[in-house]
A and B are shown apart, each in its own frame.
Chain A
């Protein structure tokens, strides 16, 4: 079931009604059952995978809690290897087998995995891994209630595409008391509305043009490719952050606060800020806490810091493989390119600091901030080409075609026959950016809460009717939920 389907708009009120009517101690059980219904609705066999992961994690959590010394470590390793191994196998086995056969040649054939991974698998496996590690390092006790652990993994707003919530903050909210106050409910509904708007009115309206031009990249004009690269940057942002907003909003209706996952990423002033503080924050923090720091982080000398940074981005590239655009080497390049940006950032950080100290007014000046934001956006947009293209060759060709015609772009823009779809896409992106610039200074939702009722309601009606009139409701999937 997806958030934009009619089934979901029937399911959600029923889930909320049951939750509200039941006595406190049964509410989380109800929510767990609702989550299983949500997850199994499209593909019931998905519940088998979720059930297996839940049972394994619950049992391992107990065992780690009780064990000591080497046995404790062995149990953690078994859990990590089992979970990460299943993720790797599902994601890469068929791809790796194909690559191996191509390398060996001579008609050599390896067997293939018949089953595809269920939607959201990589998200709840990451949640499961963090749960085990958190028990191991005693951030949380291993003796958790079975319903609580199962709900932590299955909670329907986040199971398909996150945020990758941490067990300590999630489990601590599961009391018998339901803390959903009216303000949380209003904020939840606002987030759901805005998330839906980003998904169906912005992302899904940008998608056809992007899909078309990336599919015929070899024949598309440079200006068309440039527009598609820009549009894709906003398509993937609105698709993914739209999902997250809806997820956080729904969770609030049940009185559960999920972590922030996006913070106006295209207003980042450098790529470190983009990845560290603004884009897919829950994944970035997961990698920081469960990979970067255990590898030594920045404490083991500069060469190790560089190596650890690159490892994190390469693993992130691998994790992203298969998110709607197949599994391929493009994701390794995407990860490596982002890792390279961090290297450049690390290497030049002392220089920027010295320059900032020498000319503080210039460093904080508006035009320079805007310039940095624009440069950062373009650096990220270049990486999205590798994310979206069918192959490294295609991505390179797109960048080359755009690059060679870059000096002519102003004249090409004036002569290009823009369509209503282009104008609509550009208008939606402008609306988004204007709202995000306002939001950067003070939350738009907080502004709305303080605004007169006429303004507030007008905004709500605009979003609701914008969804009805402009939304593309036929698209049934979010990019990030496809693995």
Chain B
């Protein structure tokens, strides 16, 4: 029996040592292949102070496709850090911003408002447990502590914490040798050919029936917290709506209550708000149902965004 226990202990110890080695290699690969994960961007940011930080879901990610962010920086002379991530609502974005402000500063926050991000837990609590995000998130004690807090107080599944701490999604990452790049970026130069069935599928995906209307209020409150956090750290907050094709604009549900709530927030918090959703209605500016392609991003930047970035005065 004593031998059996000793053997089991040795087996476990060797196993843990191998695990530690595998974990270390997986972590190295996160750094070797990292690119679009917002927490990776914060960890590897070239500077501590930025003029602008951009937050939202995939619609804002297009501003960083194919080094477009660097191009915006060159053209404006501003430093910009795009921390958008796929499918993320205000709760996940608040988590990202909290991590950003720990060691970095920014003069402005550009938040791309997307109503869909306020309608479902999938785009909020659900994002924390998404293996695609976890497998590219560097190991960091502050992120771990923050995740524990979100799990305890914000309804994020403890499995997300377990996954992050054990590094399971990194070790198990099938794309471990590939660059961290959202599949949309590979289509950046594509031009979308409108398709009603595809549009319907996309709308159904982004805007499932609202099963719990109180969720919208909850995520609006989270959003207000996010804005308060940004303002506490001296950021001027600008809210914008990204351009979408005319078909998408018509097909997506429009909730007047949500628009009113955002308007109230803008007024209460003295924010700047620009609705650019109808700025580029033509489908040729998009690579799919609702994401700007290269010419769309270029046109949007030159016609609208550039002036917003250059004209917004800093709080301090």
Query: Which residues in A have some Cβ–Cβ distance to B below 8 Å?
Result: 6, 182, 457, 460-461, 464-465, 468-469, 471-474
Contacts and interface: CB of A to CB of B under 8 A. Distances in A.
Given A6-B159, A457-B11, A472 B18 contact: no
12 contacts: A457-B14, A461-B14, A461-B15, A464-B15, A465-B22, A468-B19, A468-B22, A468-B168, A468-B171, A468-B172, A469-B171, A473-B172
Contacts of A460: 11
B159 to A, nearest CB: 7
Contacts of B19: 465, 468
- Name the residue in B4, B18, B171, B172 with the highest tally of chain A Cβ atoms < 10 Å from its Cβ: B172
Contacts of B159: 6
A310 B19 CA distance: 53
A182 to B, nearest CB: 8
A460 B12 CA distance: 11
B201 to A, nearest CB: 15
Q: How large is the interface on B (under 10, 10 to 19, 20 to 34, 35 or more residues)?
A: 10 to 19
A473 B172 CA distance: 9
Interface in B163-192: 168, 171-172, 174
Contact of A471 (B4, B15, B172): B172
Contacts of B171: 468-469
In the A-B complex, the 4 residue pairs with the closest CB atoms: A468-B171, A469-B171, A461-B18, A468-B172
Interface of B: 4, 11, 14-15, 18-19, 22, 131, 159, 168, 171-172, 174
Given A6-B159, A457-B14, A464-B15, A472 B174 contact: yes
Nearest to B4: A182
Nearest to B173: A469
A461 B19 CA distance: 10
A465 B171 CA distance: 9
A474 B131 CA distance: 9
A473 B171 CA distance: 12
Given A6-B159, A457-B11, A474-B131, A469 B172 contact: yes
Main DSSP-derived SS at the B contact region: helix
A46 to B, nearest CB: 24
Contacts of B11: 457, 460
B129 to A, nearest CB: 11
A179 to B, nearest CB: 18
Contacts of A461: 14-15, 18
A441 B227 CA distance: 69
A218 B260 CA distance: 50
Contacts of B131: 474
A357 B124 CA distance: 73
A246 to B, nearest CB: 19
- Name the residue in A6, A464, A469 with the highest tally of chain B Cβ atoms < 10 Å from its Cβ: A469
A469 B4 CA distance: 28
Given A460-B11, A461-B15, A465-B19, 7 more contacts: A182-B4, A461-B18, A465-B22, A468-B22, A468-B171, A468-B172, A473-B172
Nearest to A467: B172
A472 B169 CA distance: 10
A6 B158 CA distance: 12
A461 B168 CA distance: 16
Contacts of A468: 19, 22, 168, 171-172
B168 to A, nearest CB: 7
A460 B15 CA distance: 10
A315 B140 CA distance: 58
A472 B172 CA distance: 8
Contacts of A182: 4
Nearest to A182: B4
Contacts of B22: 465, 468-469
A211 to B, nearest CB: 16
A453 to B, nearest CB: 8
Contact of B18 (A6, A465, A471): A465
A469 B167 CA distance: 11
- Name the residue in B14, B159, B168, B174 with the highest tally of chain A Cβ atoms < 10 Å from its Cβ: B174
B161 to A, nearest CB: 13
A341 B15 CA distance: 49
Nearest to B131: A474
A83 B19 CA distance: 49
A449 to B, nearest CB: 14
Nearest to A420: B177
Contacts of B18: 461, 465
Nearest to B7: A453
Nearest to B23: A468
Contacts of A472: 174
Contacts of B168: 468
A182 B5 CA distance: 13
A460 B18 CA distance: 12
A103 B159 CA distance: 51
Contacts of B174: 472
Contacts of A465: 18-19, 22
A273 to B, nearest CB: 37
Contacts of A464: 15
Contacts of B14: 457, 461
Nearest to A469: B171
Nearest to A456: B11
Nearest to A468: B171
A322 B159 CA distance: 33
Nearest to B163: A6
A154 to B, nearest CB: 28
A473 B131 CA distance: 11
A464 B14 CA distance: 12
A118 to B, nearest CB: 25
Contacts of A6: 159
A464 B18 CA distance: 11
B243 to A, nearest CB: 33
A253 B159 CA distance: 27
A307 B222 CA distance: 70
A460 B8 CA distance: 13
A469 B18 CA distance: 12
B221 to A, nearest CB: 31
Contacts of A457: 11, 14
Contacts of B4: 182
Nearest to B177: A420
A471 B169 CA distance: 11
A144 to B, nearest CB: 37
Nearest to A424: B174
A465 B25 CA distance: 13
Nearest to B162: A6
A182 B131 CA distance: 38
A472 B131 CA distance: 12
Contacts of A471: 172
A6 B161 CA distance: 14
A474 B19 CA distance: 21
B153 to A, nearest CB: 22
A51 to B, nearest CB: 31
A114 to B, nearest CB: 21
A80 B271 CA distance: 73
B256 to A, nearest CB: 37
Contacts of A469: 22, 171-172
A182 B14 CA distance: 22
A12 B240 CA distance: 51
